[in-house]
Each structure stands twice: as structure tokens, then as C-alpha cells.
Chains A and B, each alone.
Chain A
Amino acid sequence: MAVATGARRSAPGRFQSVGSAKLREALVGYAFVIVPLAFFMLFFIFPIGYAMYISFFDWGILGKIDYIGAKNYRDLWHDKLFWTWPPRRGTAIWNTFYYTAIVVPAQMALGLALALAVNARIRGKSFFRAAFYFPSLTSSAAVTAIALFILNSGGLLNALLGKIEGHPVHTPWFAQSSTALESIMGLNIWTTSGTMMLFYLATLQSIPTDVYEAAAIDGTSRWRTFWKITFPLLKPGHFFVAVLSFIGCLKLFDQAFIISGGKGGPAYSTVTAVLYLYQTAIFDSHWGYAAAIGIVLFVIIFFFTLVQRLLFGRAEIGY
């Protein structure tokens, strides 16, 4: 690619003065960004206000029914299916938090372990990295279908367990409330560990090697090197993965929807906050109430996203 050099006569009509050149640049700038900005205004910024507006109404299929003030929020506060105090499994919010409490540490631990493994001096690094990342690039629907097949009461997992235990095993993993959400946890830990591994890898690879050399000079054992040196140096990675994982868990919907057919069964075990929102909006057509749930979820998620932005807004996960 060559930029043509050499004299070219100035085309007539080109602005020469600085002032109009600045104006022209500004106009072109706006022209370039007008579509993106309009898009974000219409589909992101405007919806916040619109959702808040709808949440103050009783809104049915055909539109506004009644202005009801903060009734939707009050009903939400008292909604035993959404949340209870003390926390109880089977409510939307506590299901989501229970899920988050288990999945976030598991994803972090697994992601870190895989990253360390791939980062070690081994051959076939890119094969292993590819293998560990592969589940992450599938769609939630596809991987849930696979899980439904393997975790079917007559499926592969039960067959293997049967061989190990010596008697036939027919646990319907997704059809009983004691194992349904846990099975989703296992599924998601498996699929997202690859992405977390990549983030940890990026952090790991940016730790300067002199740190390790210094440790070697001091004669530190490998185990101590890891715990006292590597692990603390991964702090940016830890925080980053933790918050990302956390926010992802709060938004759990796809797998819960597919497994329960949108019903949140068995026995409320798979009702997540977002599934509850979906049910209220689509099955019940209580748009106002659903909008209120959306706003509450927004506040919770926004808070944690803000935490991530403030801590890592401009920073990289590395040095």
C-alpha cells in the first residue's frame, strides 16, 4: 500500500483556513458517529427511562391500563416467589445468589488451574489451550441439549455411575429439585472455565519472568513460589475474573429456561431472577410488574458492573 507522494494541485474548493477546517472535521466526526449514537440512545438509554415509566403502570397486552404508582415495587417487595427473608431456596433471587456463590469460586479455581497448566513448560500448549477453551465457544442452547442427553435418566452419566456403583443408576438429574440447579452449575462451570482460563493466562503471561528467577535464586520451592509470589501477583486477574463471573451468574437465564421449559421447575429450583422476569412479562403479560423487576435487577447488576469499571476501567490485567 503506497500513499501517493509528489505534488498534486490542490483541488478547488478545499477549505484552507483553520477555522472552517475544524468545523468540517467536527461535522464529519458527527456524521461518522451519528448512527452508533442514535442506536445506543434508542436501544439502551431510552429503554431505561421507558422501563421506569412502564413500571409505574399496570400494563396489559394492549397497553396502559392504570396508573398505580409504586404498587409494582411494593408487590415485588412482598412477592414470596421473588425473594423471602430469611433466604430460602426456591425463590428467584436466592436461587440466583446460591448459584452465584458456588459457581464464581469454582470458575475462578478451575480457570486458574487450567491457565497454570497451559502456561507450564509443556509441549502441545496450543492443543491443550484449544481443548480447554472449546466448550466456551458453544451456544448455551447447544450445550444444554448435550447436557440433557448425557444427564438423561438413561444417559451416559448414569450408565457410567452404574458401572462404578455396581447397580443401575437412573437419577433424573434435571427433573428433581435437589439436583436440577446443581446440574446447571456443573454445566456452566465446565463451559465458562475456558474463558476464565484465557483471562488468567493473559495475566500470568504478563508477570515478568525476573520474579521467578529471583525466587529460584532464593531457592524457593515451586509450591511456595506459587502461593507466595504468583498467586498474589495475579490479583488483577482474580478481581477481574471474579467480577465478570459474578455478573454472568446474576444474569443466568438460558439454561434454566431450556431445562424447565420456562416453568422454573422442578419445584421452583431453577427459577432465576431473569427467568422470573421473563415469566412475568411473557406468560402473564404483566408488563408493568416485569418492568419493575427489570429495574431492580438493573440496580443490582449496575452496582456490581460499576465496581468492576471503577477498579479496572482503564487498567489492563497485567503490568
Chain B
Amino acid sequence: MSPRLRSRLRATIVLAGAVLVLGVLPASTAAMTGGAAHPTAAKATTITLAHWSSSAVELKGIRATIVAFEKRNPSIKVNEINLDPYPEGMLARFAARKPPDIFYVDSNVFPDWVSQGVLEPISDDMARAHMSTKPFYPRLLNAFRYKGKLYGLPKDWSPLAMEVNTKALAAAGVTPPKTWAGLTAAAKKLKAAGQPPVCLDIDLARMLAFMYQNGGGFLNATRTKAIVNSSKNLTAVTTYINWIQSGLARTHAQLGMGWCGEALGKEKASIIFEGNWVTSYMNDTFPGVAWKTYPMIGAKVGNKYRGNLGFTASYSIAKDSKNKAAAFKMLQFLDGPVGQRVWIANVGYLPARSDVKPPSGRAVYLKEAPFTHPWQFAPGFSKVTDTANNELQAAFEGKETADVALRNIQAAANAALGK
């Protein structure tokens, strides 16, 4: 080989070797210790907090709560790690028996994790610390109970509600609807006035709310049987799909958006159904848009035709954690009134405790609480929700009828329960 190439090659190898030695080894040692390590005092315990983050605001909020906690507990240092995608990252750490000490648990994955034994029950710790569960909203707390024991405390929550573009509605002469029939009428008026349509997603995490509104549901009260294939659900699903197929509503993909919230922000949709997370999103990203939140619609007038989904996550402690005492101290703080206040002040989510004042402008969401069902099923249901979404999409595209879709979803759900 030519001398020039050889010397170039040699230089490259030396350089790469230097990169290897100087770059990777320190990086990997740092990585081995699990992230940005704070210099710890001789007596201090270090615990790891794992979380996901959907926005810069949330990240700021997490850091603020950590700082507040460390100030009150100088002997405990907190390492925070951001896992994305979250469930897979946590699963890897569980499998290696080296989990973070305290972490988020989404209500939807809670059944899987607790039934596989990776979470630590906290009822005894709470009793010892004289921490009462009374201030917490019971429905949220129940989402994190398993076989009578409590395995985490909810950190915040949100139901769905209806968010509208006030300018578009005014231009079409529409008042915010309260029922399904009202939504149909409103959508027709919007279309006639040339305003952006409603944005609806083919997603179980939205359609299930409508199913509840019509008196249907997914699992029975004891979570032993699937009740998906019912005439009530069928009506709900058909009505929902009809809105989109008749052109009164569009999916976010049809609008070319990433989600309906973006459609509202870019004024491609006049009415959407999203949770409290859309509030700070709209305020930060699209401050110029005139919009307002209204209660979630019901199937018909009357409280028994209301239904909603509650999305929540808990702080939980790992069973394999080596610092359970310190982790519990943090849990106590994060879910105590002070910690909740710091968190809510920073991110504007709804507190899980009734003794903490909710952020301003979110009263509408709070009023949904009595009609809210938790977004949670049974262990092994991640495949079922995927099946449900795929089946509903197939029904939407006309590849099968809605009752076939519901039948298939019910079969999948029963199979998962039977396992």
C-alpha cells in the first residue's frame, strides 16, 4: 500500500486509539456508576430517581422538587435519570436486579410490574411514618393497590376534557356542545362556516371514555371478565367512527399533525379532547391561539351519561432497592403537601391530594373527577391495548365491522386474563 495511505492509516489508528482511551474509558466508568454522580459526603446516601419527561417544563419541575427535598434532607443526595422509552428502560434495570430506588409507574403498566414482584409495598412504611392516605383521592389511590396492599402514591393526574378554539366557534356561531348530538350539530356548523373540524383519534385511550359515557366499559368491576363486546360499546364506537367518516372530524394523521393538541395549536382543529397536559403545551408553544377548556361531553344530558378516563402515575419504590429507607423519605416528601405544592407550582398538573390547591384555570378538569375511570387494566394487557387499537383502526378503515372488532378485542382481553 502506498506510503501516504499507510501513514494516514497509522495516524488514524493512533488517533482512534487515543479517543478510545481518553474518551470511552472515563465515560464508561461514569456510566457504570449510573449517570452524573454528585460528589457525596462521607455519610450521605445516594438514591436514584428515574422518570420520563415529556417537556422541558417537567424536567425543571423534577429538578425543583429534588432541590427542595435535598435541602430538607442534607444526608440524602438524589441522582435523577431520564429514561426514554420508559418501560423498556425500567424493565432492563429490573431484569438486572439493579433498579432505580424510586421511580414513576404509569397506571397502565402498574398491574404488570406489581404482579411480577418488582415493586415494594409501602403501607407499613406509611404507618410507621404516620403518613395518612386520607388526603388522597380514593380512585387514584386504588389504581395503585394490589391484593389489598398499597404499592405507590399517585403523583398527579388528569382526565380528558374538551378544548376548543374560541375564535373558530364564534365565527361559526357555535356554543360548546355538551352531548354527542350537540357535537354533531356543532361540527356540522363548523364545516358549513368553513372552520377547522373536530380532531378525533382512533385510540382506545380516547374512545374508551366515550364507551363509558354510553354505559359500556372494558373490564368488569372485579377485573375478571372482559365486557368489551356489548351493544353499548358498539353504539359508542360506531358513533365515534361515524364522526370521522362523515367528514365532521379528522384524525391527526389526516390533518398532517403529530397529535390533536398540535392540531389545536396550529389552528387545524377547532375542538379536541385531551387532558391537562395540553394546557401548558398551548401556553408555551402556541400562546397566540385563543382557546378554552370545557367539560367533557356526555352521551346524553344527565350525569349517568358522563364518563371519563383518568391518567395517573405513581411514585413507587423498587423491591430490589438497596436504599429503601432513604427512598421512602423521598416518597414521603414528594407526595406530602410541600412536595406536591412545589411540583404543581412548576408544572401545572392536578395534585393527587385534596389538601393541595390546584393550579389556576384547571377547575374544569377537577370537576371531571366523579366520572373518571382509571386508565388501567390487568397484567399482560399491553398486547390487548395494541390489539384494541389495531382492531379499531381496521373498523375505522372499513376492513371489518365494528362488532367484529369488539368481538376480537374481547377475545384478546379474555385470553390475557386467562393466562
Contacts and interface: CB of A to CB of B under 8 A. Distances in A.
Direct A/B contact, Cβ within 8 angstroms: yes
Interface of A: 60-63, 81, 90, 152-155, 170, 172, 174-178, 263-268, 279-280, 282-285
Contacts of A177: 393-394, 397, 399
B253 A265 contact: no
B383 A279 contact: yes
Nearest to B6: A1
A170 B382 CA distance: 31
B87 interface: yes
Interface in B180-225: 202
Contact of A284 (B117, B254, B382): B382
B95 interface: yes
B359 interface: no
Given A62-B118, A177-B399, A282-B88, A155 B393 contact: no
The main secondary structure of chain B at its interface with chain A is helix
Contacts of A63: 95
B397 A267 contact: yes
A264 B390 contact: yes
A283 B256 contact: no
B91 interface: yes
Contacts of B394: 90, 177, 267-268
B58 interface: no
19 contacts: A61-B95, A62-B117, A153-B256, A172-B256, A175-B251, A175-B254, A177-B393, A263-B390, A264-B386, A265-B393, A266-B393, A267-B391, A268-B390, A268-B394, A280-B383, A282-B88, A283-B383, A284-B383, A285-B112
Given A62-B118, A283-B87, A283-B383, A267 B95 contact: no
B397 A176 contact: yes
A263 B386 contact: yes
B255 A62 contact: no
Given A155-B256, A170-B256, A264-B390, A178 B397 contact: yes
A172 to B, nearest CB: 4
B255 A153 contact: yes
A115 to B, nearest CB: 29
Among A152, A153, A178, A267: residue with most chain B CB under 10 A: A267
Contacts of B88: 282-283
B380 interface: yes
Interface of B: 87-88, 91, 94-95, 97, 112-113, 116-118, 202, 251, 253-256, 380, 382-383, 386-387, 389-391, 393-394, 397, 399
A88 B118 CA distance: 39
B383 to A, nearest CB: 5
Given A175-B251, A267-B397, A61 B390 contact: no
Residue of A61, A178, A263, A282 ringed by the most chain B CB atoms within 10 A: A61
B111 to A, nearest CB: 12
Contact of B390 (A154, A267, A284): A267
Contacts of B383: 279-280, 283-284
B205 to A, nearest CB: 12
Nearest to B385: A263
Contacts of A62: 94-95, 97, 116-118
A177 B396 CA distance: 10
A155 to B, nearest CB: 7
B116 A285 contact: yes
Contacts of A264: 386, 390
A174 B380 CA distance: 28
B255 A282 contact: no
B84 to A, nearest CB: 13
Contacts of B87: 282-283
Contact of A266 (B97, B113, B255, B390): B390
Given A62-B118, A172-B253, A266 B397 contact: yes
A280 B118 CA distance: 19
B386 A152 contact: no
Nearest to B253: A175
Contacts of B256: 152-155, 170, 172
A115 B280 CA distance: 55
Nearest to A158: B256
B389 A265 contact: yes
B49 to A, nearest CB: 20
A98 B97 CA distance: 41
B208 to A, nearest CB: 17
B91 A153 contact: no
Contacts of A267: 390-391, 393-394, 397, 399
A158 B190 CA distance: 25
Contacts of B94: 61-62
A10 to B, nearest CB: 30
Contacts of B112: 285
A262 to B, nearest CB: 8
Given A177-B399, A178-B397, A285 B117 contact: no
Contacts of A266: 202, 390, 393, 397
Given A81-B387, A265-B393, A282-B88, A61 B382 contact: no
A263 B391 CA distance: 12
A230 to B, nearest CB: 35
Nearest to A59: B95
Contact of A265 (B91, B380, B390): B390
Contacts of B382: 283-284
Given A61-B91, A282-B91, 16 more contacts: A61-B94, A63-B95, A90-B390, A170-B256, A177-B393, A265-B393, A266-B202, A266-B393, A266-B397, A267-B394, A279-B383, A279-B386, A280-B383, A284-B380, A284-B383, A285-B91
A78 to B, nearest CB: 10
B118 A153 contact: no
Contacts of B254: 153, 170, 172, 175
A60 B253 contact: no
Contacts of A61: 91, 94-95, 113, 116, 118
Contacts of B380: 284
Contacts of B393: 177, 265-267
Contact of A153 (B117, B253, B386, B399): B253
Contacts of B386: 263-265, 279, 283
B414 to A, nearest CB: 14
Nearest to A176: B397
A258 B391 CA distance: 20
A159 B411 CA distance: 42
